[in-house]
Amino acid sequence: MRHVASEILKERKTKILSAIIHQYIKTGKPVGSNILIEKYNISLSPAAVRNLMANLEEEGYLTHPHTSAGRIPTDKGYRTYVNNLVKLQSFAVEEEGRIKKEYEQKHNEIETILSETSRILSGLSQYTGFVMAPKAQYDGIKNIELVQITKHQLLIILLTNSGLIKHKKIDAFLTQTQLVHLRDFLNKSLRGISVAQANKEIISHIINFKQHEEEFLRIAEKISDVFYDIQDDIYIDGTSNVVELPNFNDFESLKSLIKFNENKEKFIKIINKDFNSNGINVKIGSENMLDELKDLTIITTVYKNGEQAVGILGIIGPKRMEYQKMMSLVSHVSEMLNKFFKDKK
């Protein structure tokens, strides 16, 4: 038998693996050698194709159901396919236009935009879309308001540069004069710095604020706790899109996915790992490190306020998805959100 150069063999394996994944994405059925030869312009004999498919299976890229001679991709196979995408497929012009139109029609409140972004991701992908709100520790402080709502409770309202509004009640009492002085002092001292920086600096700032020092220091500690306790929030839309997929029949996985809407902290912890990553991130099946997600793929990317990455968005779908189209969708929506923050300044 003629020796085939290793580079040619590698190219043939890559082409066959890519063809199998394309076909499996379209049909959801195991792929045989005859289909590959007929539909994907593979100019090899059926025996040669079957031999290469067997090699790919031995190497962990393919597997096959016991009842079929055809092959289906493994997580490793999908990973190789995603890694070999040279460039993202251009998103359809009309779909890109739909994204722009959605943003142009919406009011500029950040909570509305984030909620609508998750809906756009879900609607265009037909999977589950999600957007994490800007991370407070990277968000600058725009304004702090103090309101004495009862004799024993002070309401602290924090407005960030990205437009997020956070508020919390603390047990404290200030006279109107004290309240005005403290509010003006806080805004002068903390406006423009990050929430994380404010949490570290607020007590030292107020120690230097001489008026009623002991009382203000006690209140400063409570305000500092408010900054520390600000939690990441996330907007999720279209969970039912995933659980209604034909190949999503694991009841335990279904329950776990639905609970993400109820226990968002767990989901946030998972996707937070991608916050310092560049570009599009794809986690396939077992790469998500949770049994509940073993049949799913998560595609994420960060969005920015200027040059600073502030949040994460993406989709959750089946491993059998159109990766190029979904990666392109996530990328386009991220760019739209980046533009929203840029125009908002």
Residues 190, 142: contact at Cβ < 8 Å? no
What residues contact residue 216 under an 8 Å CB cut-off, 6+ apart? 178, 182, 206, 209
Rounded to an integer, what distance in angstroms lies between the CA atom of residue 19 and that of residue 193? Answer: 52
Rounded to an integer, what distance in angstroms lies between the CA atom of residue 178 and that of residue 142? Answer: 21
Task: Please name the amino acid found at residue 253.
Answer: S
Residues 320, 28: contact at Cβ < 8 Å? yes
Residues 161, 141: contact at Cβ < 8 Å? yes
Q: Which CATH architecture has domain 93-135+233-344?
A: 2-Layer Sandwich (3.30)
Sorted by where each begins, the domain ranges of the chain are: 6-83, 93-135+233-344, 138-229
Mean pLDDT of 97-102: 61
Whether the full predicted model's pTM is greater than 0.75, yes or no, is no
| pLDDT tens profile 135-192 | 766 677 888 888 888 888 888 888 887 777 777 788 888 888 888 888 887 888 888 8
- In the CATH hierarchy, which top-level class contains the domain 6-83? mainly alpha
The answer, yes or no, to whether residue 103 has pLDDT greater than 70, is no
Per-residue confidence at 86, pLDDT binned at 50, 70, 90? very low
Percent of all residues in the chain with a pLDDT value above 70, rounded to a whole number: 73
Give yes or no on whether 93-135+233-344 and 138-229 have one common fold. no
| pLDDT tens profile 14-33 | 889 988 988 888 788 899 98
Task: Please name the amino acid found at residue 35.
Answer: I
Mean pLDDT of 58-76: 86
Per-residue confidence at 90, pLDDT binned at 50, 70, 90? very low
CATH of 138-229, one of 3.10.50.30, 1.20.1270.10, 3.30.390.60, 1.10.260.40: 3.30.390.60
